[in-house]
Structure 1
Amino acid sequence: MGIADKIFGSARDRFGKEVAARVLALDTVARTEYDAEKFQVLVFRTPDDDSPAVINLDRTFQETERAPASARKAAVGRLVDAAALPPTPDTWERAQPMVRPVLRPPVHDPKIGIVSRPALRYLAEMLVLDSPSAMKYVGPDDLATWGVGAEEAFDAAHRNLARSVTHTLDAARLRAGSPAATRLDDSGDHYITSLPLVDGWLATLQRIAEARPLAFPTSNSVLLLAYETADPDEIAIRVQTAEREWTESARPICPAPITVGDDGTVTLYEPPPDHPAHAAVKHATILLAMSSYGPQTEYLRDAAGAEDPFPAALKGFRSPTGEEFTGTTWTDGIESMLPQADLVFFPKEGEQMVQIPWAVVAEEAGLTPAEGFHPARYHVGSWPAAEVMERMKARASAALV
């Protein structure tokens, strides 16, 4: 133990005491206790509170022990924000007006305990409880306490969020005929970045502006809103701006444009290959895909047992001509879970590696998504039969002509 530890206590204790002191400063907290043995802070809401809330410190301390002081301060701030939340309502009648959906990157570890479902190809929507001071993620135990299912809770959350879209539609009407780009900053009570989840919001913007909207929820507090224009360079500029903000954000969500299809479905914007903005949009979409599949691959590999299929990685590549694409490897005879990619690689020792477009492989090999994975994964083992492989190679060669 060093001199500083003898005088001021260990780094763990200093961290725990700092959290306890900052939580105690909240108006809603009567007292706190730091439990050094369990490395927890107990939060008592009233002087006679016999059921204190518990803040577990170990994970946050480990993640920030060697981080810069600013990162540690931000992490402590998030713990304090969590402590500021009011108690979770004990009935659905009380909780229902407070639930909201939020658009976020997927969470892959079920032990984290957040109610979530797929929203877009690489994004998820989660349930939170909204309060004047902060928001709290809803867990499966909360739904069980309230006696409601996830679908019913999400329906209620969407109805609640829909009531907050009026001001954005009014702003769009004022800009009708001139669909200029807009920056929407979340003040904390409008859930701006979740608006693409509201049924009909993007479609209404398209009808008002007479142009396809492009929404970029770059972080949990900023939504960049642009429109498809006759000038493709304008679209590329908007994508590059969103990508920069996403890269610099402490809580990034999506660098790629979200839009509405002709059938009214909310989807990622995908201009055709000959579109001048295609390369910029493709780059942003690849960044989003890798930011989603990367943590999923890491989690699955850490959690996999000896008999579980191998979680293959999604990798990004650039061709000699500058085109970007993603790829994944199907190794013959190895049970694997493949991510969806642009190309599937079939390596064989002593031979040139075969590269086949995903659509061809999925059709010829009959790939279907495995249950329980978002983004999607596909269970494979041995390569398809020789005649199928030859047919896939022929189709891949024809596509390159």
Structure 2
Amino acid sequence: MKKLVWMGSLFYLLMGFVKVTVASIITVLLPLYDRVYTDAGALIFIEFGASIFGMLIQPWLANRMSKKTMLHISAWGVAASYLLIAFLPSWPLLLAGFALAGFLGGIIESVIAAVILEGLQSNAAIAMSRLEVAFGVGSLMLPLAIGMLIVSGMWNYALFGIAAYCIFLSLFVRFTRFGDAEPLFRPAYKAQVPNAVPAGAASSGPVGAVVAAAATNHPSARRKRVLSAPGALMLPAFILLFFFYGATDIGLVNYLPSLMLETGMADAATAPISVTVFWAAMIAGRMFAGYEAEKLGYRRYLFIHWSGMIILLSLFAVNRNAMIGYALIVLLGLTLSGLYVVTLVYAKKLMPRNIARNTSILMAGCAVGGGLFSVTAGRMLDAMPPSYVQWMMAGIALLSLLTYILYAKERQAETSAELAQA
């Protein structure tokens, strides 16, 4: 399993590169193409929209081809897209290049997450946090590399380097054997649903509720059973949580330099450093996030960190001091560091069936939130003071906590009802 985690870490390093490419080069691209923040938001949305499609289509592809084949094709495709972007084509072709990278990156991310979550039955949070550390390292390294290369006008060489790294990953998967984990990469075939479902055979989750309801012929009875079944709101609640998290996290990554610049907390030369500071804090937090979550318990960990996110984003919205601003960025990085992976592992724990499908759906929800927020924030920065965007992020964090609290109450009520029936 160590090889599996190593492979996942190497691919998540690539995902770190892919996810911050736009944020790293946007200050160079906008003047080159004579574009504004609204166009930057559209570019980010297109990339994330393609990523969503890749995440959602991955389970369908997994039924028809090996996961290794998907990783091969995706790695070579990302390499091709980055070569296209590096040569600075016309704006429509540039959009196509980012869309292709986003689509294939979505496939890679969901494949790796599904393989790790299916293959590791214990300490999954710790293993996933290691992957997230690799993701953070990639997100930290690329802005630094591009920042140094911008001075000499050779920033696109960093994109050539990413393309070469993609080819290395393809060769790594081709020549590495994963022992007992090899079956995880084989194509999955659709299971045949039996005509008769024995009483009590369905799970308490939403998928089990649907299967149980299918055993009855009356449409109203089927609908009633699905809605009243324990855990029927579980998957939608997690989708909402990932949607809100994506809006906050991706919004910070893409617009943090712009917010620091527009609020006067940094100038054009120092604003990009904010992303480096943020990702350095994220990496540090992810080194311990898995252990902290296992010690505190997933529910308590998530409650503490979402509550902290509201407080920190509110302080960031009212602050205009540069030193305090960077201190808040560090605290935000530490607070957000484990939310994604711990929520994903918590979802796997509560919904143990259809892990690959659920993982893809939740990741897509995160990408949808990030993409929609990026478009909205870009338009707002063109027309409104930056504080509106900052308060919008704080409001989204509040919605995250409210969703979690309502979900926790629902879960507690379900547990009490099940004990009463026992």
Larger proportion of helix: 2
- Identify which of structures 1 and 2 has the higher relative contact order when contacts are C-alpha pairs closer than 8 Å and 6+ apart: 2
TM-score (normalizing by structure 2): 0.23
TM-score (normalizing by structure 1): 0.24
